[in-house]
Structures are given as C-alpha cells and as structure tokens.
Chains A and B, each alone.
Chain A
Amino acid sequence: MIWNWFPKYFEQLMGGLVLTLELVFIAIFFGMLLAIPLGLVQVTGPKWLGRIALAFCTVVRGTPLLIQLWLIYYGLGSIFPSIPGIRESMLWPYLRDAFPYAVVAFTFSVAGYSGEVMRGAFAGVPQGELEAARAMGMSPFKVLWRIWLPRALQNVFPTLAGEMVLTLKSTPLAATITIQELFGVGTQIRQDTYRVYEPLLMLGGIYIILTGIIVVVMRYFENRIPRPTAA
C-alpha cells in the first residue's frame, strides 16, 4: 500500500467533497420541493395532472440514473448549441458547464423517488384529521400547510433519511459527465499514480463516513420529531 500521493491531492479531494455535498443538498432541496406537488396531485387530482405525475415518477424510477444523466448531458447538451443565438445569450456559460446538467438529473431523480414516497405519505394521513381541519373552517391551502403536509412528513421522515443516503451513493455517477466530485478526483488520482486500490479504498472510506454522518444526524432529528401516538 502506497499512500504518499495523499498530501498532494488533499486540496483537490476537499474540493471534490464540497462538490459532492453541494450536489446532494441542491438535489435534495429542489427534489423535495418537486416531490411534494408530485405526491399531492396523485392523491387529490385533478386526474390528468395525477397521471402526468405518475408517468414522471415511473419513468424516473424505471430507467437507470446513468442513462438519464447521459440523456440530459449528452442528449440535450448536443441540441442546445444548434439553437441560433444561444451562444450569445446569458445562459450559455451555464449550458456549457456540466454541473447544472447533473443538478437537473439528480433533482429529477430525487423528485421521482420521493414523489412516490410522498404520495403514500399524503394518502396515509387519516381522513378524520383533514375533515376536522376543514370543519374548523380552514381553507384548503391552510389544511395542507398546517395539517396535511406536517403529518405526511412526520410519517415518512425515516424513509426520506434513506433517500438522502441513496442520493449520496449515486453522486459518483456525476463523474461520468466530467464533474470532478469525490469520485472524479479519485479517478484522476488513479490515472496519475497508477495505483488501483488505494484511491478506491479511500473513496469507500470517505463514503462510509459520510453515510454514517447522515444516518446519525437524521436519527437525531427523527428522535426530536414527536411521534404520533398509535391510533
């Protein structure tokens, strides 16, 4: 085992770590924002909107994330330059960079998987509670904001913690579209030093630590959320 390359690449690894975490948190944040309406319309309707949401979730969950990532980066990325005038537009610097494509792909992925979770969560809130809220004269939006959403989130919190770990574990795929996150830096170290195992073992170790941190932090929050007493 030869580890003398480690100090030289330390800074780059830190940069990769930051990029990985950025990707996870941005994707989780926007993915969850999308997941809530995706789950909600499947429970409340209108029917056609619910069907679109279901189709979206099915496609996202039925195809490999790697293919989605390549479809968005190479597929859409190859279309954009042919649009006249786009090279002069303000968006071009972003369209040329790989990171926004990865953010879009991972956000859709989180939205697709969590949308399905949220559908179950919304459907699982007892009808009586919603009826009680309506009987109190709450508007539909207030029912959602004060009763339905908090109750739904409360029930699926452990599942969502799992989603977070899954998202972290899928970030290495971003390295296949030239993003220098942790795994990408690891690949570069392997190519520079011709060491096969040490960089991979190090990556494995880092991901285990990150997973551990997520699990511990989420468990802390889980314990702080008051559990509903068994009905």
Chain B
Amino acid sequence: MWDNLHLLAFSPPGWGSVLLRGLMFTVIVAAGAYFLGLLIGFFAAVGKIYGGPVLKWSLEAYTTLIRAVPELVLILLLFYAGQDALNAFMSMIGLERIDINPIAAGILVLGFVQGAYSTEVIRAAMLSVPKGQVEAAYAFGMSRLKMLRRIMLPSMIPFAIPGLANLWLIVTKDTALLAVVGSAELATVTRAAAGSTRNYLLFYCAAAVLYLSLTLISTYLFRKLESRYRPASRDVKTVDPLAGVRA
C-alpha cells in the first residue's frame, strides 16, 4: 500500500485531483439534498401539526414508509421512477428523452429521503416551543403564517440544531449510496480509481480519510453554531456529533 502513494498525486497518473473532485461533488449533492430536505421537512412538519386529517395521514405515511425502507431501495426506486416520470412528461409535451444530470438526480432523490427525517426533527422542535409563545402571538393578532415566520421559526432553531446536525452528517454519508446508480461523487470515483489501478486498499483508505475529515469539520462547525444559538434554558440536548442513521 505505502509504495503506491504516488497514485494519490494530483496530476495524472495520480488520482488525487479526481478524488478531490469527487469529494466536491459529494459536498454539493449533500448540501443540495440537505436544503431540499429541510424545505420539505419544514412544510411537512407544519402540515403534520396544523393540517387536516387527510394531509396529516398522508404525511404520516410519507415519513413512516421512507424511514422503514432501506435507503438503497429508495434510491433505486426514486431514481428510475423520477427518470421515467420526467421522460413521460417530456414526450407528452413533444420533447426528446433526456438523461437527468447526475447532480440534480442525486439532490432530488436524497432530498426526498432526507425530507422524511427532517420532518420528524422539525416537528419535534416545533412541539418543544412553549405553547404560551404561540398563544401570545395569536393574541397579538398575528396570522398563522406570521406566527410561523416570526415566532415559531426563530424559537425552534435551538431545539432543532442537534437533530439537524445529525441529518447533515447522515446525508454526507448517504451520498455514497449513489454509487449504485452511477454518479460522480466520491464513492463512485474511488471505485473507478481502485478498479483501474488494482490498489483497492489504498484508494478506499483515502476515501475513508476524506469522508472522515468532512465529518469532523462539519461536527466542529455545528458545535460553533450550536453554542451561538444556545438558549438560556438548559433543557435542550447538545449535539451528539455522529449519532443517527447508519449509511
């Protein structure tokens, strides 16, 4: 392993720059999926708390099913279903079949999965906001939308940060699963590099180091964020750096 370190050099025949580009791709896809997940999560949480029975029931089905099925199965299902739906739509409006861009595909698929997990985190955080604050907002004559934006959103953040930090760490690791549908993120390019040079141990170790540094840097940043938002009360859990779903 050690006498082949030159394979990690940045210029060809070294694969260093390929791996780093893979890492960049991983970060982009993870960030995109994370924010898409947060968006879905916020609206789904609002729907779960304030929605009517039909909406509540269907959101419950969404979060339960997504969280009970392995990510790998979901990724394949959503990837093919999304591709098919898109092409059916394209042929309907008279355009040619297109192959969806791997970054967009990764973001959409992982974002949809993340949404289910974010929903639960955000819902729990919203329910942790003292009822009196919400009632006070209504008493001031705020509409529900205004209450959500002015009161709920800012005061739930400290409760949500630990869970959301975990979700970020999960999604960075989940991007590796995109390797099964072929992508350009770190796991896929590592497999290509390892396969073509026959230096499996070296390249998988290098990938592991890159993922680990991404995780450790993220944990550090979330700790900083958390201490900034730490509320006066001490009943908020602290960030457990790496807890959560195994990916």
A: residues with CB less than 8 A from B are: 57-59, 61-68, 70-71, 74-79, 109, 113, 116, 165-173, 175-176, 183, 186, 196-197, 200-201, 203-204, 207-208, 211-212
CB distance from B219 to the nearest CB of A (A): 8
**Given known A62-B211, A67-B176, A67-B208, contact A109–B77 (CB-CB < 8 A):** no
Is B142 positioned at the interface, with any CB of A under 8 Å from its CB? Answer: no
Tell me if B69 and A208 are in contact (CB < 8 A).
yes
Q: Which of A64, A71, A109, A204 contacts B69 (CB 8 A)?
A: A204
A203–B243 CA distance with the chains assembled, in angstroms: 27
Q: Which single residue of chain A is at the shortest CB-CB distance from B178? A: A66
Tell me if A67 and B245 are in contact (CB < 8 A).
no
A66–B187 CA distance with the chains assembled, in angstroms: 8
B: residues with CB less than 8 A from A are: 65, 68-74, 76-77, 80-81, 84, 169, 173-177, 179-180, 187, 190-191, 194, 198, 200-201, 204-205, 207-208, 211-212, 215-216, 240, 242-243, 245-247
**Given known A172-B73, A200-B73, contact A75–B80 (CB-CB < 8 A):** no
A70–B205 CA distance with the chains assembled, in angstroms: 10
Tell me if A67 and B211 are in contact (CB < 8 A).
yes
Residues on the A chain within 8 Å of B207, using CB: 63, 67
CB distance from B65 to the nearest CB of A (A): 7
Residues on the A chain within 8 Å of B242, using CB: 57-58, 61-62, 116
Residues on the B chain within 8 Å of A197, using CB: 77, 80-81
Tell me if A169 and B176 are in contact (CB < 8 A).
no
Tell me if A70 and B247 are in contact (CB < 8 A).
no
**Given known A67-B207, A67-B211, A172-B72, contact A208–B65 (CB-CB < 8 A):** yes
Interface of A is mostly: helix
A204–B113 CA distance with the chains assembled, in angstroms: 14
**Given A57-B242, A116-B243, A166-B246, 8 further pairs, Cβ under 8 A:** A64-B176, A66-B177, A66-B179, A67-B176, A70-B200, A78-B200, A109-B246, A201-B77
Tell me if B204 and A170 are in contact (CB < 8 A).
no
**Given known A71-B205, A211-B68, contact A65–B73 (CB-CB < 8 A):** no
Residue of A66, A70, A211 ringed by the most chain B CB atoms within 10 A? A66
CB distance from A124 to the nearest CB of B (A): 13
Tell me if B205 and A169 are in contact (CB < 8 A).
no
Tell me if A74 and B76 are in contact (CB < 8 A).
no
**Given known A66-B177, A113-B246, A197-B80, contact A203–B73 (CB-CB < 8 A):** yes
| List of 5 A-B pairs having minimum Cβ-Cβ separation, nearest first | A75-B201, A61-B242, A64-B176, A71-B204, A62-B215
Tell me if B204 and A67 are in contact (CB < 8 A).
yes
Residues on the B chain within 8 Å of A79, using CB: 201
Residues on the A chain within 8 Å of B246, using CB: 65, 109, 113, 166-167, 169-170
A173–B246 CA distance with the chains assembled, in angstroms: 11
Tell me if A74 and B187 are in contact (CB < 8 A).
no
Tell me if B211 and A64 are in contact (CB < 8 A).
yes
Tell me if B247 and A64 are in contact (CB < 8 A).
yes
Q: Which of A62, A70, A171, A201 contacts B70 (CB 8 A)?
A: A171
A168–B29 CA distance with the chains assembled, in angstroms: 25
Residues on the B chain within 8 Å of A171, using CB: 70
Q: Which of A78, A170, A196, A204 contacts B198 (CB 8 A)?
A: A78
Residues on the A chain within 8 Å of B174, using CB: 64
Q: Which of A63, A169, A208 contacts B211 (CB 8 A)?
A: A63
Residue of A62, A77, A173 ringed by the most chain B CB atoms within 10 A? A62
Tell me if A59 and B212 are in contact (CB < 8 A).
yes
**Given known A166-B246, A207-B73, contact A70–B204 (CB-CB < 8 A):** yes
Residues on the A chain within 8 Å of B169, using CB: 62
Q: Which single residue of chain A is at the shortest CB-CB distance from B69? A: A204
Q: Which single residue of chain B is at the shortest CB-CB distance from A77? A: B200
